[in-house]
Structure 1
Amino acid sequence: MRIGIWAFVAAVGLSLLNGGVLAAEPLRARLVQGAEGYAGLHLRLEPGWKFYWRQPGEGGVPPRFDWSGSGNLASVDVEWPAPRRMSISGIDLIGYKGEVVLPLRVQAQKATKPVTLKLLAEFGICKEICVLREERLTLTLNPGEGPAAALIERFRAEVPGSLAAAGIQVPSFRQKEGKLLLKFAPEARLEAPDIFVEGPVEYWFGRPKLLPQADGSLELALPYTPVDQPPALGGLRFTLVDGRRSAEFTP
């Protein structure tokens, strides 16, 4: 992850934001209640603005969520809908644009009592510039289904599942000349796949190159750095996105 690039654009973005150059509010955020045990972080971005995924891409920083001020809360698990790769000034970032809901699986300490969610969210958003943001949001979850249940379920349907659920066989893996190669069988019927890799912080994985094979299979070649230190496959997590299909898997 190339933090140096992010540090530069964030500094520029913050100076512009503090100087009042951003006339319109680029993002609106709120907490919403869904089905029993679920809430959502609902984000609406102005055209052109992007919000980072949990693995933000080249030079980004992942969103951070602090729930420490909440009441009657045992745990919150954030679910991430399938992201997309986007580019700003030749730099790839991974995330969302337009509207997105991050589903939140909420566990109460005492099931019969309301949960008060208090969120401190720190994250970056980008357009031509990148800026760091902080949002403080509060929501009381009462027993039963909330008004945003259908909205949250729509985005829960976009959270990557298993390869088997997506109808895709586990790929084969090999490494060659600073690239990690994943080969998918013809039965996968991949059309325009992208793949995102999470692993040790010292590694960075670039945009995959698609290599169709004579037998109908498809190989995805992922460049990585440092090129002289092949990553251990056991420490990597992959998210495959192909149109409306997506899957998360490990070797």
Structure 2
Amino acid sequence: MQRLKVLLLGAAVGLGTGLPAAASSSIWYNSEGGKVRLVTSGKPDEAGRIRGVLDIALKPGWKTYWRDPGDAGVPPQLDISASTNISDATFSFPPPQRHDDGYGKWAGYDHPVSLPVTFTLSAPNQPAVIDADIFLGICETICIPVQTRLTVDPGSDPDNAEDAALVKAALATLPTPARPDFGINILPGDHETLIVEASFPGDPEAADFFVAGERDYMFGAPARSEKDGKLVFTVPILDRPSTTPTDGGLYYTLTSADGAVEGLLPFP
């Protein structure tokens, strides 16, 4: 499979603009491999947040990326700078699957997926319009960029039960917070490896560990081994910043046959 950054050198494949929608969801934007739209639950909560999803209806055989797409893909991106009374938008990600296209291993989804988005209002008691530039990569035998602008006026249809149900269902797919019996412990590594010991329910063969590179970190696919009866993942550190950050951490997801958890781990 040819990777996305090759296609990005071409001219505007998948460019388009979604016209404004007077509803708690945008219109669909159609591309070669599927279609995308923004859906919201309409009403902000007491903290001034509107829950929504980027709804990605992939055609059979097409895939899209997780928050860390590997060394050549592009994660889903959302720019809300043109919006009214929206100060921030943050993606959350359902558990991914690991894919090998012959060029490399990467994490993503091979089925239609709704990525939850939390929109934060600048002034909670004032009207808001979401005007979002969307960018993501979708892949079949080749990968193409999908770029469009989607507009939603959440207040125009605040009681849309169908949209609210879609958002609620998407939130239910997210990993739960890691806990002592389902999570990871960091083991001593070196400058070039991240090593974690995993605790989880179910079959070890069904377990997988995903860590998202950021702040100039880049990770390879983990190698599996066993130590003292525990499953261990050794993750190559392909690139790292010259100085290790002291704030924040790296997002990880641990999947099993019985569900998934997520958390933050310290920068190695």
TM over 0.5: yes
Secondary structure at the aligned position of 1:152 is classed as: helix
What is the correspondence of 1:129-148 to structure 2 with a 5 Å cutoff? Answer: 129-142=142-155, 144-146=158-160, 147-148=162-163
* Aligned position for 1:210: 224
* Aligned position for 1:156: 171
Mapped pair 1:63 → 2:76: yes
Q: 1:6 to 1:75 in 2, by over 3 A?
A: closer
Q: CA deviation at 1:6?
A: 4.6
* Aligned position for 2:250: 236
Counterpart Cα distance in 2 of 1:233 and 1:209 = 27
Q: CA deviation at 1:78?
A: 2.0
Residue identity opposite 2:232 in structure 1 = E
Counterpart Cα distance in 1 of 2:76 and 2:183 = 31
Q: 1:224 to 1:80 in 2, by over 3 A?
A: same
Counterpart Cα distance in 2 of 1:169 and 1:200 = 21
Q: CA deviation at 1:189?
A: 5.0
Secondary structure at the aligned position of 1:121 is classed as: strand
Secondary structure at the aligned position of 2:175 is classed as: coil
Which structure 2 segments of 5+ residues have no match?
15-30, 44-49
What is the correspondence of 1:179-198 to structure 2 with a 5 Å cutoff? Answer: 179-185=193-199, 191=204, 192-198=206-212
Secondary structure at the aligned position of 1:55 is classed as: coil
* Aligned position for 1:107: 120
Taking only aligned residues, the RMSD between alpha carbons, in angstroms, comes to 3.3
* Aligned position for 1:126: 139
What CA deviation, in whole Å up to 9, does each residue of 1:77-130 have, x standing for no partner? 222222222122242222223211122222334444442111111222111111
Mapped pair 1:32 → 2:42: no
Which structure 1 segments of 5+ residues have no match?
19-23
2:184/2:196 contact within 8 Å kept: no
Residue identity opposite 2:80 in structure 1 = W
**Percent of aligned pairs with the same amino acid:** 27
Residue identity opposite 1:7 in structure 2 = K
Q: 1:102 to 1:46 in 2, by over 3 A?
A: same
* Aligned position for 1:246: 261
What CA deviation, in whole Å up to 9, does each residue of 1:24-59 have, x standing for no partner? 731211111226321221110111211222211131
Counterpart Cα distance in 2 of 1:174 and 1:189 = 26
Q: 1:29 to 1:208 in 2, by over 3 A?
A: same
Secondary structure at the aligned position of 2:56 is classed as: strand
State which of 42, 47, 58 in structure 1 corresponds to 2:60: 47
